[in-house]
């Protein structure tokens, strides 16, 4: 969505540069400053999930794709309908999108006392749809690459497949292999999947047109699941030595008994690792989207300061947006890279072998 704003700002430059004089006499311009622009609301709205996929606005009509709402309520049972039923803030089958309060922007159900209850909501929201689209795209891309290997095995690949091969092998050899260690081959398919999932999702988030533009990796539920996967793998494949180092580490006994100081710290460490993964990816992507949105808002905020100011700030906004978007492409890669790097390191740490050297010294 941010990129749509960017396009708008580009158009704005054109119009402003070509006819500031005309603009001044336009009666439409007089109307605009009346709408007070709440930048914070606008940005938060764009970052958050929504029940319909808003594409653009032509004139006064919103162009949005209605998405299916799937809600289970304890009182009224199952509800399945399209989100277009909520048009103009109307309620449907006793359900309504809350406009304020704790559940703002989510579907709620009002009980007899007027309290808002949140039903079990597995609606296919914008993020869900983009997520499914990206998943399908990723599966398609990787399976296409994999299939081309079945055709002619020993031929070196060209074009897209060759690029993907180089990419995959680079991550495999430079990140996964050194970080996981000995039996990295067992984990590399999963870690590669995570890498390409995050990378593709990040890039699609930056894409201005329809299937992209959703803030997926900047949503904490998504990064939470990713972190959970890594957490489970790390702790399932953990060796005896790994668990020993958590509950009975090589420290003076008084640090372990009677108050299990070190085990407590180590145990917290087990959970902070995936937590760091989750927060890092979420915060980085969210921040990237916020900056782009904020810079784009500059165009609309400065409208009230007059044409000259508006024009110059538009130029600034576009220049900075281009810069930030390029940075975001880099960040998209770096975040996927860091996530996989840290996951690899955690898996590598969980597969420690007993320290023979230390024991020999004792």
Partner 1 sequence: MSLLLPDSGLLFWMFLSFGIVVFILVKYGFPVILKMVEDRKAYIDNSLSIAKQAHEELASVKSEGETIVDNARREQVKIMNDAAQMRDTLIKEAKDKASVEAVKLVEDARKQILIEKEDAIRDIRRQVALLSVDIAEKVLRGQLEKKDEQLDMINRLLDEINISKS
> Where do contacts with partner 1 occur on this chain (CB under 8 A)?
44, 47-49, 70, 104-106, 120-125, 127-128, 131-132, 135, 138-139, 142-143, 145-146, 149-150, 153-154, 156, 164-165, 168-169, 172, 185, 188-190, 192-194, 196-197, 219-222, 224-226, 229, 286
Closer residue to partner 1, CB minimum distance, 226 or 234:
226
Q: How far is the CB of 221 from partner 1 (least distance, A)?
A: 4
CB of 265 to partner 1, least distance (A): 25
What is the closest distance, in whole angstroms, from the C-beta atom of residue 263 to partner 1 in the complex?
Answer: 29
* 98, 84 contact by CB (below 8 A): no
- Residue 168 CB neighbours (<10 A): 16
Question: Toward partner 1, which CB reaches closer, 227 or 318?
Answer: 227
Q: In whole angstroms, give the CA distance from residue 330 to residue 59.
A: 35
Question: Residue 159 CB, nearest distance to partner 1 (Å)?
Answer: 15
> DSSP string of 252-298?
-GGGTSSS-HHHHHHHHHHHHHHHHHHHHHHHHHHHHHHHHHHHHHH
Q: Is 59 left (phi over 0), alpha (psi -120 to 50) or beta?
A: left
End-to-end CA distance of the chain: give it in Å, rounded.
Answer: 62
Residue 16 or 198: the one with the smaller Cβ distance to partner 1 is 198
**Among residues 193, 203, 54, which one has the least CA distance to residue 129?**
54
The nearer residue to partner 1, 9 or 335, going by C-beta atoms, is 335
Tell me how far, at minimum, the Cβ of 288 lies from partner 1, in Å: 14
CB of 5 vs partner 1, minimal distance in Å: 19
Question: What is the residue whose two structure tokens read 């993907």?
Answer: 164
Are 262 and 251 a contacting pair, CB within 8 Å? Answer: yes
Number of residues in the chain: 362
Indicate the SS3 state at residue 308: helix
**Choice between 143 and 308, CB closer to partner 1:** 143
Residue (12 or 233) nearer to partner 1, CB: 233
What b-and-e string marks burial along 105-143, b requiring 16 or more CB atoms within 10 Å of the CB? ebbbbeeeeeeeeebebebbbbbbbbbebbeeebeeebe
CB of 215 to partner 1, least distance (A): 10
Return the bridge partners of 61, or none. Answer: 58
What is the CA angle 18-19-23, rounded to 5?
Answer: 145
Q: Nearest distance from residue 213's CB to partner 1, in Å?
A: 17
* Residue 123 or 302 with smaller CB distance to partner 1: 123
Task: Output 49 or 241, the one with its CB closest to partner 1.
Answer: 49
């Amino acid at each position: 969505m941010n990129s749509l704003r960017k396009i708008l700002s580009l158009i704005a430059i054109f119009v402003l540069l070509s006819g500031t004089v005309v603009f001044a006499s336009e009666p439409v311009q007089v109307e605009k400053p009346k709408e007070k622009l709440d930048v914070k609301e606008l940005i938060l709205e764009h970052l958050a999930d929504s029940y319909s996929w808003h594409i653009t606005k032509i004139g006064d009509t919103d162009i949005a794709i209605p998405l299916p709402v799937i809600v289970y309520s304890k009182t009224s049972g199952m509800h399945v309908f399209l989100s277009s039923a909520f048009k103009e803030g109307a309620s449907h089958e006793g359900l309504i999108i809350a406009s304020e309060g704790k559940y703002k922007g989510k579907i709620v159900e009002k009980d007899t006392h007027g309290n808002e209850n949140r039903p079990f909501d597995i609606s296919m929201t914008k993020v869900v749809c983009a997520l499914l689209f990206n998943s399908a795209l990723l599966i398609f891309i990787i399976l296409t690459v994999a299939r081309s290997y079945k055709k002619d095995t020993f031929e070196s690949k060209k074009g897209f497949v060759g690029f993907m091969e180089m990419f995959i092998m680079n991550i495999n050899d430079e990140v996964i292999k050194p970080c996981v260690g000995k039996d990295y081959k067992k984990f590399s398919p999963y870690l590669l999947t995570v890498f390409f999932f995050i990378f593709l999702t990040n890039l699609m988030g930056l894409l201005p047109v329809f299937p992209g533009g959703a803030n997926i990796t900047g949503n904490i539920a998504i990064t939470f699941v990713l972190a959970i996967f890594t957490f489970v793998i790390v702790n399932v494949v953990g060796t005896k030595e790994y668990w020993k180092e958590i509950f009975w580490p090589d420290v003076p006994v008084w640090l372990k008994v009677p108050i299990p100081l070190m085990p407590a710290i180590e145990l917290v460490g087990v959970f902070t690792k995936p937590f760091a993964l989750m927060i890092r990816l979420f915060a980085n992507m969210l921040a990237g989207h916020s900056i782009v949105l904020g810079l784009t808002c500059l165009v609309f905020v400065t409208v009230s300061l007059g044409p000259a100011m508006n024009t110059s700030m538009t130029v600034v906004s576009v220049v900075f947006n281009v810069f930030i978007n390029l940075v975001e492409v880099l960040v998209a890669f770096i975040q996927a890279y860091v996530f996989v790097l840290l996951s690899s390191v955690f898996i590598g740490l969980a597969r420690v072998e007993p320290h023979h050297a230390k024991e020999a010294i004792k």
